[in-house]
Structures are given as structure tokens and as C-alpha cells.
Chain A
Amino acid sequence: MGRYVIRRLLQMIPVFFGATLLIFLMVHVMGDPVAGLCGDRRCDPATAARLKREFGLDKPVWQQYATYMGNVFTGDFGTAFNGQKVTELMASAFPVTIRLTLVAVAFEIVIGITLGVLTGLRRGRPVDTTVLLLTLVVISVPTFVTGLLLQLLLGVEWNVIKPSVSPRATVDELLVPGLVLASVSLAYVTRLTRTSIAENRRADYVRTAVAKGLPRRRVITRHLLRNSLIPVVTFIGTDVGALMGGAIVTERIFNIHGVGYQLYQGILRQSTQTVVGFVTVLVLVFLAANLVVDLLYAVLDPRIRYA
């Protein structure tokens, strides 16, 4: 197990370099970012040339990458076009986004798995149909709309929440945004759990457990649920990264200055330094999440072991 984890950690190195190089090249391919800095007029050529030199954009791309990576290892992630240090941007964006993601994942786990178990045990009953309809609504109505409606209802009409999240972004402020962010994933988690539960409730070990006379609750939580969770855990694991980097719409609606927003701005302004910096951290999050998921496999199903 220890050796396995070490091997996985070592594997992160090539992924780290591969991903950063890929992202670096992608932003580079987007073209000349300096043209966008001067509004609706042409930058004067001298200033444009100087700006390019300052951001190292006049060098060949491999050299830019080498310089950038060299700086990263000394903790310098460069500067965004508005003059702010990327590390500064990360320090303000990541804590907020991590909290938002945790809230969203908590919703996925609590609501998603509960609904999944309920519907899996009561397939075809009214509760199953109701949840299916909710799922359809969540999938077919854009997040923008659900977010906006919740914001208007709770924030303006009933005055329960503040429509926008303050710069401090405390957990209680993030409950509604977290729910909105989790909504589509909730549909996945619910239906994955439902299917697994429905499949496994006829498995021999469940029948055995029931036959042994174990209480229903214990059968469901200890035997049925535990063995049904692998696809769900896999999904949530892959979702963590997506939630962290892709919360653009939710962050916009609730005015959360998080990773999604910074990354989106960085991409639109073609700021290599910002984009690669943020993605680098996100890659590490993916890798960690995937490692945790793989280790959880062994916890959930002890037949799976890591050498």
C-alpha cells in the first residue's frame, strides 16, 4: 500500500509536466494577447513590443516554457496583465473555491446518495418518478436559469439570503451557490446510486445478510450501500476537479471571486501566467482526488487490494 502510494506520487511528475506543457502551448496558440490590452485601438508598436518583452512573449515558445517552469519552482508564478501577482490571485481565489467545492460535494453525498438509495429501493414508485422528473429539470434547464431563479426567490422575494456572496465567502453564504453548482452532478450521483442499489439488492450477500436476520438498516448501510458506492465515488472523484475549475456560471451569478472566474478571465485575456498557474494547481487536485478514489476502492471493496 505504501509502495503503491509512492509509485502513484511519482507518476504525478510526468503528468504535471505534460499538463503544464499542453496548457502552455494551448494558450500560446491562441495568439497575441497584447492586442487586447489597448481597447478598441491599435497598441502603439513600441509599447506593444515592450509589453511583449516584459512578459517574455518575444522569445521562442520552448524558452518561454523553460523560463516559466524555472520560475514556478522558485515559487514565482508570474504576473497577470493587471499587474497582480498570480500567487496573489491564487491566494484569494482558491480558499473560496475550495469551500464552495466542499459544500457542493457535501450536497452530492448527502442528498445524492440519500435520493439514490430511496429510489433504488423503490423503483417505479412515485418517489422514483418524482426524482426522475427533478433530474430532467436539472439537466434541461441551464444552471444560469436555476441559479438566477433561486437568487431572485431567496435573495429578493423572500429575503432569506443575500443575492451575492461577500468577499469573505463564508460557508453559510455558499450554501445556495453550492447547491446550484452541485445540481447537475446531483442528477448523476442519484442515478448512479439508484442503479447500483437496484442491481446489488438482489446480490447473494444481501440475501444472505437478510436471511441472517440482520436489521434492514444495517443491511442497507453496511452491505448494500457500501458495495454500491464504487461508481459513485469514482464519479465524485472526477467531479471535484470539474467543480473547482468549472464553476464559471455559478461564480458569476453569485459574484464569487473564485478559481472559475480567474481562470476564465485568464483564458479570455490569454494570460499564460494566470492560466498555467491555476491549471497547475488544479492538476495536482485531480491527481490527489484520483489517488484518494483508487484507495477508497480498497476500503469499499476489500477484495480490491494494492500491492
Chain B
Amino acid sequence: MPDPHEQDGAVAGTGAGGAMDLAADEAAAVTAGGPTGGPDGATAPARSLWSDAWHDLRRNPVFLVSALIILFLVVISLWPSAIATGDPHDCDLARAQDGSSPGHPFGIDGQGCDVYTRTVYGARASVTVGVCATLGVGLLGSVLGGLAGFFGGAWDAILSRVTDVFFAIPVVLGGLVLLSVVTSDTVWPVIGFMVLLGWPQISRIARGSVITAKQHDYVQAARALGASPTRMLLRHIAPNAVAPVIVVATIALGTYIALEATLSYLGVGLKPPTVSWGIDLSAASPYIRNAPHMLLWPAGALAVTVLAFIMLGDAVRDALDPKLR
């Protein structure tokens, strides 16, 4: 494709045909990219892009390493007692903030609890919150944003304005209002809250990349060949628009785990006796000068988790990108 500046909208308009009317109104009247269409999507081999991707993934060492870490996190979330014999609620204030000692390899926290045990036991709540909130936000956000970007017009106008309203809700206010009425001590209200307030971000990103992706030559080609909107979205646009969503989602996973701490700090997050990295991180923060070990271990656990998901996201993205083959 030549330098985009040299493109003339009028020329492309005739090429794209009636299908363009869909998008012509609101967000973007898309014009086709010119006649030099690439061979990418439309001439895909017999295997679908998705199964292709899976084929690639299985051989990617990055994917394997990240999958192993995630598997490990899942195992300790389900059976924390497998690697931690202590009780996360056995707290003796007399030894608070002590450093590493025999039996307490990671030291003791501000309430006199064993940091190692709490880090292991914290995995369940934190990984559940991180993964479920990310999945929820990712699905809801990319579906709604994708549809807005693809169809444009009134759809886009309505969905985009709804996201605007949601953006306007301050997290603190939303948390205090929506979560203070909940008495459940499970992680689900917190996850639900994150999905409710988090989806607009992914939605915007997804909308933006769908708007870009849908004018790639192969999409225009598919459209010209009479592909149904569903087929175009799933086969051609989604794989090419998904990269930014994956990037944002994998980082957001970490921030959701940390956001849970903010909610707990506000008194509306996870409630004791639930143990989580977020709660421990926020409890440890003020003591960074005296007892950095209190912060180091839960932060390290969080970092490893985020690393695993970022690597996983990278591997999936690479597998979905035919140009990298």
C-alpha cells in the first residue's frame, strides 16, 4: 500500500460499494485502501486462523513457560496448604515486622502474621479477582466496543455515549455506593464491580482497533466478495484487532489485583478473614522504610503473575499475526 496521504477517498468510495453505507454515518465513513490488496486474510489456507494460532502456540517456549506459571498459580490457589503449612490467621503481634527467621522465610507482617503463608494463601483471592475481572472486562468491552466500531452509526453513538457516562463515575464513589450494600464476603461482588466500571476502557480500545482493522485491504476484499458481517468480524477483523485489547487486558489484570487493595482500603473490598495480595500490599505500603520485606513478597507474587499473563498475551498475539509467520 502506498503512502496513505496519496489516497483519494472518492476513488476508494466507488470501490467499496454499498456495504460502506453501514459505516458511512457516525464514527467513520471508511474508504477502501486502494487496489493493492494483500494476500493475507482472504486467501487463508484451509485451516482457520484460530486453529493455526493454536498450532503455533504449542511450540512457542514463551507460551509454555507462562502456561506453567499460571498452572502453578492455579494449583496453589486451590490447595494453598500444599506448600504452606502455617495458618494465615495465626498472628502474634509480639513478633510484628520481624525479618526473616527460621520457620518464617519471608519474615513477619505488621499484624504479626507469617508473610510466606499469607502470600501463598493470598493467591486464591487475588488470582481469582485478577483473572475473572480481566475476562469479564475483556469480553464485555471487546464485544461492545467491537460492535460499535464495526457497525458505526447510531450503534456507535449510543455505545460510545454510554461508555462516557460510565467513565464519569469515580471509582471511589462507585465502590462506596455499589459495594457498601453488599454483605457477601466472597470475591464476586468485587469482580462484578470491576467489570462494571472497567469495560469502557477496553471497549474504547477495541472500537479504535476495529475501526482501523476494518479498512485493511483484505477486509475490504472479503466484503467485496460478499462475506457476512459475522464472518468478517470473527475471521478477519477480530484476529487483527485483538492485539491492543490483549496488551491492555494483561496489564489491567495486574492493576485489578492492586485495585482490590484500594477497595479494601476504602472498607468496601474483600473482607477479613479473606487473605489477598492487595490487602497485604496496602497494609505494607506505609512501612516501606522499616519493613520492606512486608511489601516485597506480595509485590513479587503479583509481578510474577502479571509477567506470566503478559507473556501469554504476547504469545497469543504473535500466533494470531500471520505476518509474523
Contact = CB atoms under 8 A, between A and B. Distances in A.
Q: Do chains A and B touch in the complex (CB under 8 A)?
A: yes
Interface of A: 7, 11, 14-15, 18-19, 22-23, 26-27, 29-30, 132, 135-137, 139-142, 144-145, 148-149, 152, 184, 187-188, 191-192, 195-196, 199, 202-205, 208-209, 222-223, 227, 230-231, 233-235, 237-238, 241-242, 245-246, 248, 263-264, 267-268, 275, 279, 282-283, 286-287, 290, 293-294, 297-298, 301-307
A283 B174 contact: no
A10 to B, nearest CB: 10
Given A132-B310, A205-B3, A297-B211, 17 more contacts: A136-B303, A136-B307, A139-B254, A142-B258, A184-B255, A196-B244, A199-B243, A204-B1, A205-B1, A230-B211, A235-B204, A294-B27, A303-B7, A303-B31, A304-B215, A305-B9, A305-B29
B5 interface: yes
A145 B288 contact: yes
A140 B303 contact: yes
A72 B174 CA distance: 23
A195 B168 contact: no
B3 A264 contact: no
Interface string B113-143: 0000000000000000000000000000000
B45 interface: no
B285 to A, nearest CB: 5
A302 B302 CA distance: 41
B59 interface: no
Interface residues of B, number: 74
Interface stretch (B50-58, B71-79, B226-234, B317-325): B317-325
Given A142-B282, A241-B167, A286-B164, A306 B28 contact: yes
Interface in B1-58: 1-5, 7, 9, 12, 24-33, 36, 38
B244 A303 contact: no
Contacts of B238: none
Contacts of B1: 203-205, 208
Contacts of B243: 195-196, 199, 231
Residue from A140, A199, A283, A302 whose CB has the most chain B CB atoms within 10 Å: A140
Contacts of A235: 204-205, 244, 248
The prevalent SS among residues of A at the interface is: helix
A290 B164 contact: yes
Nearest to B5: A302
Closest 5 A/B residue pairs (Cβ): A231-B244, A234-B208, A139-B254, A140-B303, A140-B302
Nearest to A241: B167
A203 B29 CA distance: 23
Given A22-B165, A139-B254, A246-B170, A237 B303 contact: no
A174 B185 CA distance: 40
B316 to A, nearest CB: 11
Nearest to A233: B208
A19 B161 CA distance: 10
Interface in B201-226: 201, 204-205, 207-209, 211-212, 215
Interface string B231-256: 00000000000011011100100110
A283 B3 CA distance: 37
Nearest to B295: A145
Contact of B3 (A142, A223, A267): A223
Contact of B30 (A30, A204, A303): A303
A303 B4 contact: yes
Contacts of B295: 141, 145
Given A208-B1, A227-B4, A307-B24, A188 B168 contact: no
A200 B28 CA distance: 21
B172 interface: yes
Nearest to A17: B165
Contacts of A286: 164, 167-168
A23 B215 CA distance: 38
A59 B246 CA distance: 48
A191 B247 contact: yes
Interface in B235-289: 243-244, 246-248, 251, 254-255, 258, 261, 281-282, 285-286, 288-289
A208 B243 CA distance: 23
Determine which residue in A196, A203, A231, A286 has the highest number of CB atoms from chain B within 10 A of its CB, and name it.
A231
A110 B167 CA distance: 25
Contact of A139 (B32, B157, B201, B251): B251
A139 B255 contact: yes
A140 B130 CA distance: 12
Contacts of A208: 1-2
B168 A19 contact: yes
A292 to B, nearest CB: 13
A137 B258 CA distance: 12
A15 B165 contact: yes
29 contacts: A19-B168, A22-B168, A22-B169, A27-B173, A27-B177, A132-B307, A140-B299, A140-B302, A140-B303, A142-B282, A148-B285, A195-B244, A195-B317, A196-B244, A204-B1, A231-B209, A231-B244, A231-B247, A234-B205, A234-B207, A234-B208, A235-B204, A235-B248, A238-B204, A286-B168, A293-B208, A294-B27, A304-B30, A307-B29
